A and B are shown apart, each in its own frame.
Chain A
Amino acid sequence: MKKVLAIILALVMVLSFAACGGSGKKEDESLSEVQKAIAAAEKMTEEELVEAAKKELEEHPDLTFNADSLTSGVKKALAGFEKKYEWAAGRTAYNSKKGSEYQPKLIAAQQAGSYIADFVMIQDASFLKNSMLDTGFLRSYVPSGDGIDIAEGDRDPLVGVTFNKVFMYDNTKVGAEQLKNVWQMTGVDGATLKAVNNVSYQNPLGEDINMSFLIMLTSPTACEKLTAAYKSYFGTDYDPSADDYENIGYKFVAEFIKNVGHWHSSDSSEVKKINTYADDGRIIFAGLCKLKDYEYYKADYKDTDQYYTKTVTAAGWNNDVEGFDGFVYNMWTLIPDTAQLPYTACLFIRYLHTEEGYKAGWGGVLGYYSSNKLIPSIEGDPALDVWKEQCIVEDVEYIDSVYKTAVKFINMQLAGVK
């Protein structure tokens, strides 16, 4: 009996070893060319990666390095990239891609296994995870080396730049005192603070990020923040049995939507007109980076370095609203599995995560934050960690888990059903 058992065990061990060895080999074989290049690039020094990218471009003189992105920062960074690596000059192309219009292209390329670009920078966490990462179409290369320190949670998928949307207003007439607690935006008038009834919010039916924000407001983390703010504002604890909402987040979302005074269709256009809304005290929920589009001072100061300073002073936003200051979300820098120039893509991603590359793309503007912890936000703008602490942060797992219920609930509120 023992002999039989020993033989069986021996066989199991042999088969296990064989299986382990076999699967390792198979795994290596099943890796795509891009995956192999990324794995190799992650082990290279900067100099080695530069050499590999240079060699790749030289070997393919007919190819252009295509970078697809929603943000024009990539365009500016590409210019800096070509300047730093002269051998890449004239070999890169920036393709501006709007999210909702680019996603069908990515899906079509993924399903057909076709080339789409060598580098992409996209947002929408759920789309990225479910349609691009789970299908293995977009890959992450994690740069390392001197001057680069990317947080563990931002590596796979690799976060390129983080954004925030905050509540902004004209500083001269509206002022920071108007909004101190998020519950003011539900229309209820507290004992000490006046209700804010002139919030302008981009329609979530046309802007995914704004829908994600509303969904995230129902998350446990947001509920904690809302509960504390509720107590501070009303002077009493929130009583869940007082109404039928699933949690305090749903209550806030319902009352916030009812209280929105104006639904805008474009953050850029709305921020541009901040000064014209001074009289009605409008508070605009929009990307902080959109302040760069505010044009009131453009004509007078366009030839000086004061334009942006004047703009930032003219518009205000609160960093200490009880509850939350806004919403934080990411844009990821990734390589398609069908990329033709993967080493160049790795080198470009590495460049974007250096201080030099980041500054070339997004430097000097509020509301952009690098995932490289060693690159600080610009003067006058809190660090990303502070924003993350004070804002609601996009969480794809939570969004996926409650999407159906939360979106139905939000739709009901948008339709004005009691």
Chain B
Amino acid sequence: MKKNTQKLPLGNRMKSYFSKPANVICIVFLVILIAAVVIPLLTLLIGSFKVNGNQEAIYIGGGAKDGDFTFNHWVELLTSKDFDYAKIKFWQPLGQSALMALLACVVAVGFGGIVAWFITRSDLPGKKYISTIFVFPYIMPSWAMAMFWENFFKNTEMNAGMGILQSVTGICVPERIVYGLFPCAMSLGLHYAPFAYILIGGILRNMDANLEEAATVLKASRFKILRKITLPIVMPALVSTVLLVFSSSISSFTVPFFLNKSSINSGNNFISISVQMRCLINTGFTKGQGYVLAIILMMFSIGILTLNNWFTGSRKSFTTVTGKSGQVSLVKLGKARVVIAIILLIIVTFFAVMPLLSFAMESVLEVPGDWSTFTLRYWISGEGFEGSNKGDTIGILRSSIMWKAMGRSLLLSVIVSLVAGTFGLLIGYAVARKRNSKLATTVSDLAFLPYLIPSMSFGAVYLALSYTKGFTWLDGSFFLLILVGSIKFMPFASRTGTSAMLQLSGEIEEAAIIIGVPWLKRMTKVLFPIQKSSFISGYLLPFISCMREMSLFVLLAASYTTLVTTVLSEYSRTGLSQASNAINLLIIVFVLVIQFVVNKLTGASIDKGVGGN
């Protein structure tokens, strides 16, 4: 039979192509993301091949001038044997940091995944409590967990002062537990465990119980069901979690910087690749080498991204929500349920509440650990803060600057979460509907790239843009913060959006199309309600991240008074650590209040999204 190869006219083909919402979304986001993501990336790449300023020209020598093309940064960082430079500055930290990030992934996915399974798939008592407080560590900045870790485990045997564990039990743990690679991995793993819990839990909660029930009927063992059904179903979320946790951990600066206090002779000294990167980028002599490092770190993550695409882009189907079954069968834990619940309650409470208590404690003591110096002045004093602007006071509750900054941070976070969340949802829809299409894969990858660009570099690129003629209106503007925040935090939303959309069977939307439901209505009345918990996670995650973000905005904010985190940074820099601890606590409380309000208004929340209720 002769195949009809006659093509439609271009106009008709275009019309047909753009009549599909997924195509329009892909094209629009391709343009947006090229402008917003590719340009910063190119800036980094170009920076790694040119002399960035006079100091770098001095470093390179040989008559190099600012702006000259050079391979020096790559050669120097990757191959220099001078004082073992390449080994010390790059290879060794890279290996150790990769190990740290992998360990953090194991902790996050293991801890978060197990808790998610118990919450969503078992008859564990106390779910609501566990689910509510399990997300606390993620709401805190990552270094809060590091600070708590040190305060808890430090001891006098290693000349670091007495920690909580020693003062209560007299136990002195080895230095390796307190400082170095292991505690960094633990702090980061515990910080990101709620993230794994949110992503994996969302999938587990929504998965079709028929599959497991069918396996049970066929007398498959629990392990086999887990291996053959549950794990494959949660695989996209699992890989996404690993990708996000690995990328975040390997580029985390504050935790390894804070927990690297051991003496060189102890052999426990750990300098992470991110500390090396920050040091290189912040020093005028070696900015280019810093860019090289940033690019290599991104390539690492792109490798995992490719792996992620292989999982989600192959022919394997991960559809778990078919619209045919809403039943979730809970595994009965039997007599073990109480024991497991108690163990979980203790662990979760310890890591969620203790850091908060330590913040509260630090904010009311003039001298850390000395209760004789108890004071409330960092909360309520009207005394002026000498190094600061008019209207600022040491007592944060009476500081008009702090409250205004808090208001702006809230507004920014709400707008950013709405923009990033919606963008992520749309990208997720397009990727799911056009799976295996190169355009969709490109858009999905581009949407994830901002996550891999170091915050400081990302901010620096937009800072340079705001000083460029034609764009000076952006300088110090609130719009710039919204723009940068929305792009930077879009990966959270696009990952959750994609995971959630991939779970949805195409049949659901097809049924709506057949009865003539327009696209917007299909999205708002059919698709969104089914996967509401996952989508709301996609909105809440950028909100939380934006509320506590500092390094991204510090270069772009008009002044330190702009956002609550810049106020916090200023207090910390000027020695008012009690006030900065108080602000930290306040940020966490605010986020929890917002969550509560969202819960009351919409019935949704992060923890409910994974089955807390």
Report the minimum CB–CB distance from B28 to chain A (whole Å). Answer: 30
Q: Which residue of chain B lies nearest to A71 when distances are taken between CB atoms in the complex?
A: B387
Residues of A within 8 A of B388 (CB): 72, 75, 96
Q: Does any Cβ of B come within 8 Å of A206's Cβ?
A: yes
Given contacts A299-B373, A408-B85, is CB(A413)–CB(B53) below 8 Å?
no
- Asked whether, in the complex, the Cβ of A265 is within 8 Å of the Cβ of B258, the reply is yes
Q: Which residue of chain B lies nearest to A254 when distances are taken between CB atoms in the complex?
A: B264
Report the minimum CB–CB distance from A97 to chain B (whole Å). Answer: 8
Residues of A within 8 A of B464 (CB): 108, 111-112
Report the minimum CB–CB distance from A271 to chain B (whole Å). Answer: 8
Residues of A within 8 A of B83 (CB): 405, 408-409, 411-412
Report the minimum CB–CB distance from B357 to chain A (whole Å). Answer: 20
- Asked whether, in the complex, the Cβ of B263 is within 8 Å of the Cβ of A261, the reply is yes
Q: Does any Cβ of A come within 8 Å of B19's Cβ?
A: no
- Asked whether, in the complex, the Cβ of B261 is within 8 Å of the Cβ of A130, the reply is no
Docked complex Cα distance between A409 and B58 (Å): 17
Give the residue among A96, A293, A296 with the most B Cβ atoms within 10 A. Answer: A96
- Asked whether, in the complex, the Cβ of A258 is within 8 Å of the Cβ of B467, the reply is no
Chain B contacts with A in 570-607, Cβ cutoff 8 A: 570, 572-575, 577
- Asked whether, in the complex, the Cβ of A264 is within 8 Å of the Cβ of B261, the reply is yes
Residues of B within 8 A of A180 (CB): none
Q: Does any Cβ of B come within 8 Å of A127's Cβ?
A: yes
Q: Does any Cβ of A come within 8 Å of B278's Cβ?
A: yes
Chain B contacts with A in 351-407, Cβ cutoff 8 A: 366-370, 373, 375, 386-389
Docked complex Cα distance between A415 and B83 (Å): 11
Q: Does any Cβ of B come within 8 Å of A176's Cβ?
A: no
- Asked whether, in the complex, the Cβ of A415 is within 8 Å of the Cβ of B284, the reply is no
Q: Which residue of chain B lies nearest to A70 when distances are taken between CB atoms in the complex?
A: B573
Give the residue among A198, A261, A298 with the most B Cβ atoms within 10 A. Answer: A261
Q: Does any Cβ of B come within 8 Å of A37's Cβ?
A: no
Residues of A within 8 A of B82 (CB): 405, 408
Given contacts A131-B54, A206-B257, is CB(A108)–CB(B88) below 8 Å?
no
Q: Does any Cβ of B come within 8 Å of A221's Cβ?
A: no
Residues of B within 8 A of A75 (CB): 386-389
Fill in one digit per residue for A8-33: 1 if any B CB lies within 8 Å of its CB, else 0: 00000000000000000000000000
- Asked whether, in the complex, the Cβ of A275 is within 8 Å of the Cβ of B367, the reply is yes
Q: Does any Cβ of B come within 8 Å of A416's Cβ?
A: yes
- Asked whether, in the complex, the Cβ of B554 is within 8 Å of the Cβ of A416, the reply is no
- Asked whether, in the complex, the Cβ of B261 is within 8 Å of the Cβ of A272, the reply is no
Fill in one digit per residue for B275-317: 1 if any A CB lies within 8 Å of its CB, else 0: 1101100111100000000000000000000000000000000
Residues of B within 8 A of A276 (CB): 161, 367-370
Docked complex Cα distance between A174 and B576 (Å): 26
Residues of A within 8 A of B53 (CB): 107, 130-131
Select B88's contact among A261, A282, A298, A411, beta carbons within 8 Å: A411
- Asked whether, in the complex, the Cβ of B271 is within 8 Å of the Cβ of A415, the reply is yes
Residues of A within 8 A of B283 (CB): 208, 211
Given contacts A108-B464, A414-B264, is CB(A280)–CB(B269) below 8 Å?
no
Number of A-B contacts (CB under 8 A): 185
Q: Does any Cβ of A come within 8 Å of B92's Cβ?
A: yes
- Asked whether, in the complex, the Cβ of B366 is within 8 Å of the Cβ of A269, the reply is no
- Asked whether, in the complex, the Cβ of B467 is within 8 Å of the Cβ of A109, the reply is yes
Report the minimum CB–CB distance from B189 to chain A (whole Å). Answer: 21
Q: Does any Cβ of A come within 8 Å of B569's Cβ?
A: yes
Residues of B within 8 A of A259 (CB): 263, 265
Docked complex Cα distance between A280 and B155 (Å): 11
Report the minimum CB–CB distance from A125 to chain B (whole Å). Answer: 11
Given contacts A96-B560, A104-B463, A403-B285, is CB(A411)–CB(B89) below 8 Å?
yes
Q: Does any Cβ of B come within 8 Å of A135's Cβ?
A: yes
Q: Does any Cβ of A come within 8 Å of B344's Cβ?
A: no
Chain B contacts with A in 127-165, Cβ cutoff 8 A: 156, 159-161
Docked complex Cα distance between A313 and B451 (Å): 50
Select A105's contact among B54, B269, B368, B463, beta carbons within 8 Å: B463
Report the minimum CB–CB distance from A27 to chain B (whole Å). Answer: 23
Q: Which residue of chain A lies nearest to B374 when distances are taken between CB atoms in the complex?
A: A299
- Asked whether, in the complex, the Cβ of A290 is within 8 Å of the Cβ of B575, the reply is yes
- Asked whether, in the complex, the Cβ of B55 is within 8 Å of the Cβ of A412, the reply is no
- Asked whether, in the complex, the Cβ of A112 is within 8 Å of the Cβ of B469, the reply is yes
- Asked whether, in the complex, the Cβ of A96 is within 8 Å of the Cβ of B55, the reply is no
- Asked whether, in the complex, the Cβ of A414 is within 8 Å of the Cβ of B271, the reply is yes
Q: Does any Cβ of A come within 8 Å of B260's Cβ?
A: yes
- Asked whether, in the complex, the Cβ of B264 is within 8 Å of the Cβ of A272, the reply is no
- Asked whether, in the complex, the Cβ of B468 is within 8 Å of the Cβ of A130, the reply is no
Q: Does any Cβ of B come within 8 Å of A234's Cβ?
A: no
- Asked whether, in the complex, the Cβ of B84 is within 8 Å of the Cβ of A412, the reply is yes
Given contacts A105-B463, A198-B159, is CB(A416)–CB(B267) below 8 Å?
yes
- Asked whether, in the complex, the Cβ of A104 is within 8 Å of the Cβ of B386, the reply is no
Q: Which residue of chain A lies nearest to B282 when distances are taken between CB atoms in the complex?
A: A100
Select B92's contact among A101, A127, A415, beta carbons within 8 Å: A415
Q: Which residue of chain A lies nearest to B278 when distances are taken between CB atoms in the complex?
A: A206
Docked complex Cα distance between A277 and B162 (Å): 10
Q: Does any Cβ of A come within 8 Å of B350's Cβ?
A: no
Docked complex Cα distance between A409 and B53 (Å): 23
Q: Does any Cβ of B come within 8 Å of A222's Cβ?
A: no
Report the minimum CB–CB distance from A141 to chain B (whole Å). Answer: 23
Residues of B within 8 A of A417 (CB): 84, 88
- Asked whether, in the complex, the Cβ of B84 is within 8 Å of the Cβ of A205, the reply is no
Q: Does any Cβ of A come within 8 Å of B472's Cβ?
A: yes
Given contacts A101-B554, A112-B469, A258-B265, is CB(A268)–CB(B161) below 8 Å?
no
Residues of B within 8 A of A407 (CB): 285
- Asked whether, in the complex, the Cβ of B573 is within 8 Å of the Cβ of A98, the reply is yes
Given contacts A105-B463, A206-B278, A411-B85, is CB(A280)–CB(B156) below 8 Å?
yes
Docked complex Cα distance between A72 and B58 (Å): 33
Given contacts A131-B54, A262-B159, A296-B373, is CB(A126)–CB(B570) below 8 Å?
no
Q: Does any Cβ of A come within 8 Å of B59's Cβ?
A: yes
Q: Which residue of chain B lies nearest to A297 when distances are taken between CB atoms in the complex?
A: B366
Report the minimum CB–CB distance from B378 to chain A (whole Å). Answer: 11
Q: Does any Cβ of B come within 8 Å of A257's Cβ?
A: yes
Q: Does any Cβ of B come within 8 Å of A193's Cβ?
A: no
Select B387's contact among A72, A100, A134, A275, beta carbons within 8 Å: A72
Docked complex Cα distance between A95 and B387 (Å): 10
Docked complex Cα distance between A100 and B54 (Å): 17
Given contacts A105-B555, A273-B367, is CB(A257)–CB(B264) below 8 Å?
yes
Given contacts A95-B560, A272-B577, A276-B368, is CB(A127)–CB(B570) below 8 Å?
no
Q: Which residue of chain B lies nearest to A300 when distances are taken between CB atoms in the complex?
A: B373
Q: Does any Cβ of A come within 8 Å of B167's Cβ?
A: no
Fill in one digit per residue for A72-102: 1 if any B CB lies within 8 Å of its CB, else 0: 1001100000000000000001111010110
Q: Which residue of chain B lies nearest to A69 when distances are taken between CB atoms in the complex?
A: B387
Top 4 A-B pairs, shortest CB-CB distance: A72-B387, A293-B575, A130-B54, A112-B467
- 20 additional A-B pairs beyond A131-B55, A299-B366, beta carbons within 8 Å, are A72-B387, A72-B574, A75-B386, A75-B388, A96-B388, A96-B573, A98-B573, A108-B460, A112-B464, A205-B275, A259-B263, A268-B577, A272-B367, A280-B156, A282-B159, A298-B373, A404-B59, A411-B85, A411-B88, A414-B271
12 contacts between A and B (CB under 8 A): A103-B282, A131-B54, A203-B257, A206-B279, A260-B264, A272-B577, A276-B367, A290-B575, A296-B366, A400-B58, A415-B92, A416-B264
Binding site for B on A (CB under 8 A): 72, 75-76, 93-96, 98, 100-101, 103-105, 107-109, 111-112, 114, 126-127, 130-131, 134-135, 198, 203, 205-206, 208, 211, 257-266, 268-269, 272-273, 275-277, 279-280, 282, 290, 292-293, 295-296, 298-299, 400, 403-405, 407-409, 411-417
Binding site for A on B (CB under 8 A): 53-55, 58-59, 61, 80, 82-85, 88-89, 92, 156, 159-161, 257-258, 260-265, 267, 269, 271, 275-276, 278-279, 282-285, 366-370, 373, 375, 386-389, 460, 463-464, 466-469, 472, 475, 554-555, 559-560, 569-570, 572-575, 577
